[in-house]
């Protein structure tokens, strides 16, 4: 029993850095998607400003708040539908 607990703890300790790394890369990817969305779909700074959609704006805010699981799929869909190339992930 003690061996199983030690093995479980060791496995968790080894997996933790990978989980943190994945969260960091998701945050960076979400930020890159947000930038693409704001640059190409909202056309910020132009006289043809497009406020976007509520779900797109919410997705950008979710990325800023760290809720990448909710923000990423929405922004990916918006960019794909607009035929805008997605940023590299990772």
Q: Which residues contact 68 (CB under 8 A, 6 or more apart)?
A: 23, 26, 27, 29, 30, 62
- The average pLDDT across 74-89 equals 93
pLDDT for the residue 42: 74
56 has pLDDT over 80: yes
What pLDDT score does 44 carry? 52
Residue 21: how many other CB atoms lie within 10 Å? 10
Does residue 6 surpass a pLDDT of 70? no
The pLDDT-based confidence of 17 (bands split at 50, 70, 90) is very low
Q: Where are the domains of the chain?
A: 24-90
**71 closest CA partner among 54, 58, 87:** 58
Whether residue 8 has pLDDT greater than 80: no
């Amino acid at each position: 029993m003690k061996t199983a607990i030690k093995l479980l703890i060791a496995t968790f300790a080894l997996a933790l850095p990978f989980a943190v790394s994945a969260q960091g890369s998701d945050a960076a990817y979400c930020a890159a998607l947000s930038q693409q969305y704001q640059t190409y779909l909202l056309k910020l700074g132009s006289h043809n400003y497009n406020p976007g959609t509520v779900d797109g704006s919410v997705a950008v805010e979710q990325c800023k708040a760290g809720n990448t699981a909710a923000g990423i799929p929405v922004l990916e869909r918006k960019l794909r539908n607009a035929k805008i190339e997605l940023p590299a992930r990772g």
